[in-house]
């Protein structure tokens, strides 16, 4: 058997031809090559093909999810620093210049017209209460007083004569009443003339210092037109400051202030806000704030000073200030900032309206609310919606 098979193989015949070449009439097959074995293999091949056609897509999808499949590329989070937007003037120190004045400065004028005869004081003179400061020329007033007194004397004589005649029955009671009325009118004119003489003298209403002397001897004084200005020393000195309405609304009576008077050197004076004006100036729209100053003999009305005030909480709608590095793409009065969204740890670009730019940052007038966090570093490397990693909050 083996000899026959070797002969067949040497002739290069295929094992399937052994059946026709067998001399003994018997069939000799190579192992695994019998017809029934070939049929089994063909059946298995057909079944495998059918299974591949049915399960191929599922196997392909399963293969895509295998460990060997490439993973999607994840963009790394960009490191950023944040700062919370805050009102531009929140708890800000306001420095404003003003003028030193005595708390009470009273303009003095005559209550009756007349020519100024004498002014008895000069600027800077200290005076006591009741001291005569100026006088009007009383020549004409004296003549009026004399004339009024003469009329009183004549009216008194007429009244006595009328009463005597009435007692004798020679005049009526009406004549007596007329004489009495004339007498009363003359007495009133005399008193008025004497009062005018008193008004011709200007006296100090209280102790103080003469701050100004706009009147001069020889001028015609008019009622209500100041001749002198008296500063009352008992009330002390104040620094008067003009403040805008928004700032004045945040200043409270009793709060402290640092005051610097150049004429006194660089030493800071401890002042206290004593008055906040309730009405703005019609011309400037500012409100007058008074800061009471400590007693100091070197203080003088008219000195220039400046005060540093700590303003209170910002009013609703106050502008926002952010560092200049937070703004990008600025053009005219608009620009962009990146606002941090804590929920998704992403940043979103936002259009904002720009105000003034200073060493302490940029004022945002619209588009940003207090407390929102903006990116202050690396804004040129970010894009809208990018995931970020917060490295720290800027101080």
| pLDDT recorded at residue 2 | 43
| pLDDT recorded at residue 143 | 66
| pLDDT recorded at residue 309 | 85
Range from 53-67, 138-152, 279-293 that averages highest in pLDDT: 279-293
Pair type for strands 93-108 and 304-310: antiparallel
Note the pTM of the prediction, 2 decimals.
0.48
Averaged over 259-275, what is the pLDDT?
89
Domain-located, residue 175: yes
pLDDT (tens digit per residue) in 211-244 = 999 999 999 999 989 999 999 888 899 999 999 8
Averaged over 110-139, what is the pLDDT?
90
Give the dihedral sign, CA 303/308/313/318. positive
| pLDDT recorded at residue 69 | 53
**Helix pair angle (139-167, 173-199), 10° resolution:** 160
Domain-located, residue 62: no
Give the dihedral sign, CA 246/248/252/255. positive
**Percent of all residues in the chain with a pLDDT value above 90, rounded to a whole number:** 32
| pLDDT recorded at residue 12 | 46
**Percent of all residues in the chain with a pLDDT value above 70, rounded to a whole number:** 75
Higher pLDDT, 16 or 359: 359
| pLDDT recorded at residue 50 | 54
Domain-located, residue 283: no
Exposed/middle/buried for 267, CB within 10 Å: 0-12, 13-18, 19+?
Answer: exposed
Averaged over 15-37, what is the pLDDT?
50
| pLDDT recorded at residue 59 | 47
40: left (phi over 0), alpha (psi -120 to 50) or beta: alpha
Separation between Cα atoms, residue 85 and residue 370, nearest integer Å: 5
CATH number at residue 351: 2.40.420.20
Domain-located, residue 45: no
User: Does the pLDDT of residue 3 top 60, yes or no?
Assistant: no
User: Does the pLDDT of residue 140 top 70, yes or no?
Assistant: no
| pLDDT recorded at residue 21 | 46
Domain boundary among 158, 184, 210: 210
Domain boundary among 210, 228, 262: 210
User: Does the pLDDT of residue 9 top 80, yes or no?
Assistant: no
Separation between Cα atoms, residue 244 and residue 94, nearest integer Å: 11
| pLDDT recorded at residue 31 | 53
Among the listed residues 305, 317, 303, 309, the one whose alpha carbon sits nearest the alpha carbon of residue 248: 309
| pLDDT recorded at residue 335 | 93
191: left (phi over 0), alpha (psi -120 to 50) or beta: alpha
Q: Containing domain of residue 175, as a range?
A: 105-210
Q: Domains in the chain: how many in total?
A: 2
pLDDT (tens digit per residue) in 181-195 = 998 988 888 777 666
Confidence of residue 5 (pLDDT cuts 50, 70, 90): very low
pLDDT (tens digit per residue) in 64-116 = 544 555 555 567 888 989 988 877 765 567 889 999 999 999 999 998 888 99
Confidence of residue 144 (pLDDT cuts 50, 70, 90): confident
Domain-located, residue 380: yes
| pLDDT recorded at residue 187 | 86
Domain boundary among 160, 181, 210: 210
Domain-located, residue 254: no
Confidence of residue 166 (pLDDT cuts 50, 70, 90): confident
Averaged over 302-324, what is the pLDDT?
78
């Amino acid at each position: 058997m083996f000899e026959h098979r070797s002969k067949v193989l040497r002739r290069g015949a295929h094992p399937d031809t052994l059946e026709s070449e067998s001399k003994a009439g018997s069939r000799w097959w190579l192992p695994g090559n019998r017809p029934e074995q070939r049929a089994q293999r063909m059946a298995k091949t057909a079944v495998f093909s059918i299974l591949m056609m049915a399960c191929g897509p599922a196997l392909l999808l399963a293969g895509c999810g295998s460990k060997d499949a490439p993973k999607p590329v994840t963009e790394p989070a960009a490191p950023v620093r944040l700062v919370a937007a805050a009102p531009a003037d929140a708890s800000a120190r306001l420095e404003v210049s003003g003028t030193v004045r005595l708390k009470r400065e009273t303009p003095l004028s005559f209550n009756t017209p007349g020519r100024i005869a004498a002014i008895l004081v000069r600027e800077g003179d200290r005076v006591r209460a009741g001291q005569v400061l100026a006088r009007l020329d009383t020549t004409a007033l004296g003549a009026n007083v004399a004339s009024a007194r003469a009329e009183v004397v004549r009216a008194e004589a007429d009244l006595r004569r009328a009463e005597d005649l009435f007692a004798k029955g020679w005049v009526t009671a009406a004549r007596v009443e007329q004489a009495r009325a004339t007498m009363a009118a003359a007495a009133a004119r005399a008193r008025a003339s004497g009062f005018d003489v008193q008004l011709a003298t200007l006296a100090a209403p209280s102790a103080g210092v003469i701050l100004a002397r706009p009147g001069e001897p020889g001028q015609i004084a008019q009622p209500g037109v100041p001749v002198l200005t008296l500063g009352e020393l008992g009330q002390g000195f104040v620094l008067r400051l003009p403040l805008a309405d928004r700032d004045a609304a945040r200043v409270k009576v009793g709060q402290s202030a640092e005051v610097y008077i150049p004429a006194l050197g660089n030493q800071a004076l401890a002042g206290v806000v004593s008055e906040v004006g309730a009405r703005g100036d019609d011309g400037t729209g500012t409100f007058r704030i008074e800061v009471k100053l400590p007693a100091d003999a070197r203080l003088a009305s008219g000195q220039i000073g400046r005060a540093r005030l700590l303003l209170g909480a910002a009013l609703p709608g106050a502008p926002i200030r952010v560092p200049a590095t937070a703004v990008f793409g600025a053009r005219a009065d608009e620009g962009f900032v990146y606002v941090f969204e804590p929920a998704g740890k992403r940043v979103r670009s936002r259009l904002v309206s720009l105000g003034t730019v200073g060493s302490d940052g940029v004022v945002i007038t619209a588009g940003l609310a207090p407390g929102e966090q903006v990116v202050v570093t690396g804004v040129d490397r970010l894009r809208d919606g990018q995931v970020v990693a917060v490295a720290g909050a800027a101080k």
